[in-house]
Amino acid sequence: MRLRQRLAQRFTTLFRETIRLTDYIDTSAAEKSIRSNIYFRGPNAWILAIATIIASVGLNVNSIPVIIGAMLISPLMGPIFGVGLGLGINDMQLIKSSGKNLLVMVSISLVASFVYFLITPLNLTNPSELLARTNPTIYDVLIALFGGFAGILEQCRKEKGTVFAGVAIATALMPPLCTAGFGLASGNFGYFLGAAYLFVINCIFIMLATYISVKYFGFREVTFADALAQRRTRTFSTALIILFIVPSIWSAVTFIRQNNFEGNATTFAEQCKVYGRTILYDYKIDHADGSVISLFFSGDPLSEQTRRDLLAQAAEYGIKEEQVLINEYSTTAQDNNVELVKSIYDRMDTEVSRRDAEISRLRQQLAASEKEELPYVQLAREIMGIYPSVKDVVLARGATVSADSLYAAPCLSVVVHRDSVFTPAEMSQLSEWLRVRLATDREVVILQR
């Protein structure tokens, strides 16, 4: 019993020492660092504009590495941390300065991306990276919140690390701004509003994480000589915090509900593929006016009993009757046939295009492989023609690896079966002949047996 108590005590002590932050935190240095990084003047403004252009190019060509590089370059986090710090220490001046610079930051990014997408000659045939920045999910909320915690913890840490690079990539503040600029340039306000909403969500949750951390670490609050000014500042800060927290909770709850609905709706749709001579050929999930799933059937018309069974099955997944929209394309109706065939052909074209791209890729690989293929039989006969005493030849492509090199050098291996031994001159001649014959600069390794 005593042994268990000692082990439990040791484990508890080890756990506390592992998670304790007191010895590693410097709030004064963190506050100074945050205050110095909220301004967008001179080089910072130009760096932000350049990073925005780079991110816009990455979104334009669907290049994830380019987008990541732009996020590492851009100095976006400063004003956001500044607002969170100002709320935590009741510093009205810091809140105003950070808010103003946040607006400057957003303006620079929007103008830069707007101009780029307005003049770029590149067309977006499959803007998957842009679309990913127009539909916020619960994952974006969690990433922004915990990314904010990681960022402010890095600010407070005495020994700085490389956390900011990861936070900049994870929270992804730059791509939504670029997508919003694309929406303005193309006149697609759906893109603009969705991307702007994602950016605002990220900012709010990073600010919220900063505020909570500032309070937890016990940053020194601003003191006021005037009690009335202190009360006003506290009241304003409290109102602003409530203004942040209430929409944040609402957004988080909404995203959770939408995420749960999508999971249930997808599972439900996968379970109702065929009803007699009627098939479910497509379904769509939409959250524009409440969460709904639209089912698209083709074949014989659904009977009332089948419809009731379908809705009952949806109810088992927590989907209400009014959340299920049934669209039928009966094979007996001429007009519906036209729409059905068009829809099916559209889906087939997409699938065919995908498979054509895959076939093209495989053909390129096959052509490259065939180009590398050796004419083994012909080469063996030619060698035996040049050297009649050769009984058989083995040829193979390979690589030579030396102990003092990290890389493997490609080579051509030739194993020759001959009664008499090749002289150095003959081996050199055969090696040179093979390189000329195959038009290659590979090393030729000749072995005898």
By the 8 A CB rule, do 113 and 187 touch?
no
Bridging pattern class, strands 324-330 and 292-299: parallel
Note the helical H segments in 172-226: 174-186, 189-217
Contact call for residues 153 and 77 (beta carbons, < 8 A): no
Sheet holding 292-299, edge to edge: 274-275, 278-286, 292-299, 324-330
pLDDT of residue 111: 92
> Does the pLDDT of residue 388 top 50, yes or no?
yes
Task: Please write the tens of the pLDDT for every residue from 176-207.
Answer: 888 888 888 888 887 788 888 888 888 888 88
CA-to-CA dists, residue 343 to 132, 329, 336, 339, 423, angstroms? 24, 10, 11, 6, 74
Q: pLDDT by residue (tens digit) across 65-111? A: 887 887 777 777 888 888 888 888 888 888 889 889 889 888 998 99
H-assigned helices in 272-375: 304-316, 334-372
Cα separation, 189 vs 113, whole angstroms: 15
Give the burial string for 351-364 (b: 16+ CB within 10 Å, else e): eeeeeeeeeeeeee
Which residue has better confidence, 272 or 208?
A: 208
Q: Is-contact 109 178, C-beta < 8 A?
A: yes
pLDDT at residue 346, as a whole number: 63
**Coil/strand/helix, residue 114:** helix
pLDDT digits (tens, 9 = 90+) for 218-237: 888 877 666 776 677 777 77
In tens, the pLDDT along 28-65 reads 888 888 888 888 777 888 888 888 888 888 887 777 78
326-381: per-residue pLDDT in tens? 887 755 444 455 555 556 656 666 667 777 777 877 777 666 665 556 676 777 77
Residue 333, pLDDT score: 46
State the residue for tokens 């749709």. 269
The mean per-residue pLDDT over the stretch 281-294 comes to 80
pLDDT digits (tens, 9 = 90+) for 103-126: 988 899 899 999 988 888 766 555
What is the rounded average pLDDT for all residues in the chain? 76
Model pLDDT, residue 390: 75
Q: Which pLDDT score is estimated for 334?
A: 46
Domains with residue ranges and CATH for the chain: 19-222 (1.20.1080), 268-370 (no CATH), 376-448 (3.30.300)
Mean pLDDT of 264-288: 78
How far is Cα 269 from Cα 17, in angstroms, rounded to an integer? 50
For a pLDDT cut of 90, what percent of the chain falls above it? 2
Give the integer Cα–Cα distance in Å for 329 and 297: 6
Least confident of 209-223, 349-363, 407-421: 407-421
Task: Please answer whether residues 408 and 400 qualify as being in contact, where contact means their C-beta atoms are separated by less than 8 angstroms.
Answer: yes
Kindly report which listed range (12-16, 66-70, 135-139, 264-268) carries the lowest average pLDDT score: 135-139
Highest mean pLDDT (candidates 9-13, 170-174, 359-363, 368-372): 9-13
